[in-house]
């Protein structure tokens, strides 16, 4: 008799677990559960990165969206003494950069003890990532976050590497690992969900201005 009761219960538990996993796999974004991670967009790297100016412009757009929607942003710098400070143009206003927590690191992943402690205080479950290099610091950070059960969204027009092949393979690797590949605009509008969002006009204005800028990734697709 006991065996008869156990099997249905086990089946229900499996179904519940599958349902939970299915919900997580959708990858919807909400401002209150999301943080943005700006990975190592530093001055020394700027002229070396494939389509680097588009990465900087996309970072500026994403940090502006974050400000409009009250989403926390965390910045890291890889060995600042060698690679320099964060590119100032990643933020629309200098005061926004100065007000954002910036963590120095030598670990390739952003998930140092200091950053992990900061993220735990934010208590977010979804992370939007943009920065460099896609196949090193971005990839290792994303894998660490995924391993801990978080949703990770990679802004494909906001990440790159010195070599295009490294960027392309990294994006494939991240997708296979469970990260969501998306674009800056897609993420921004998913965060709002509706034209009735109180900050829709502000984000729409940011989007219009961003679209006026050349997108090197988009141009590459047209060739």
- Known catalytic residues? 40, 105, 137
Strands 126-132 and 34-39: parallel
Instruction: Report DSSP state, residue 179.
Output: P
The residue written with tokens 């929607």 in the block is: 69
Dihedrals φ, ψ of 53, to 5°? -70, -35
Q: 9-44 burial, b if ≥16 CB within 10 A, otherwise e?
A: eeeeeeeeeeeeeeeeeebebebeebbbbbbbbbee
Measured CA to CA, the distance from residue 162 to residue 219 in angstroms comes to: 18
SS3 114: helix
d(CA 144, CA 201): 35
> Rounded to an integer, what is the distance from CA 213 to the centroid of its chain?
21
The pair of three-digit structure tokens given for residue 57, joined into one six-digit string: 């412009």
């Amino acid at each position: 008799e006991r065996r008869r009761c156990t099997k249905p219960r086990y089946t229900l538990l499996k179904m519940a677990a599958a349902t939970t996993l299915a919900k997580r796999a959708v990858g919807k974004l909400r401002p209150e559960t999301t943080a943005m991670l700006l990975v190592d967009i530093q001055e020394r790297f700027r002229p070396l990165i494939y389509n680097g100016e588009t990465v900087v412009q996309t970072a500026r757009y994403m940090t502006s969206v974050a400000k409009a929607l009250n989403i926390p942003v965390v910045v890291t710098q890889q060995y600042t003494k060698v690679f320099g400070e964060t590119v100032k143009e990643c933020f629309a206003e200098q005061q926004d950069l100065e007000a954002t927590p910036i963590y120095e690191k030598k670990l390739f992943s952003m998930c140092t003890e200091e950053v992990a402690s900061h993220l735990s205080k934010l208590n977010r479950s979804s992370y939007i990532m943009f920065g460099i290099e896609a196949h090193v610091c971005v990839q290792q950070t994303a894998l660490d976050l995924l391993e801990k059960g978080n949703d990770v969204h990679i802004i494909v027009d906001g990440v790159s590497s010195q070599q295009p092949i490294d960027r392309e393979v990294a994006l494939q690797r991240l997708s296979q690992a469970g990260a969501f590949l998306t674009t800056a605009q897609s993420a921004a509008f998913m965060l709002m969900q509706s034209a009735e969002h109180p900050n829709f006009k502000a984000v729409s204005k940011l989007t219009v201005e961003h679209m006026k800028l050349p997108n090197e990734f988009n141009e590459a697709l047209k060739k």
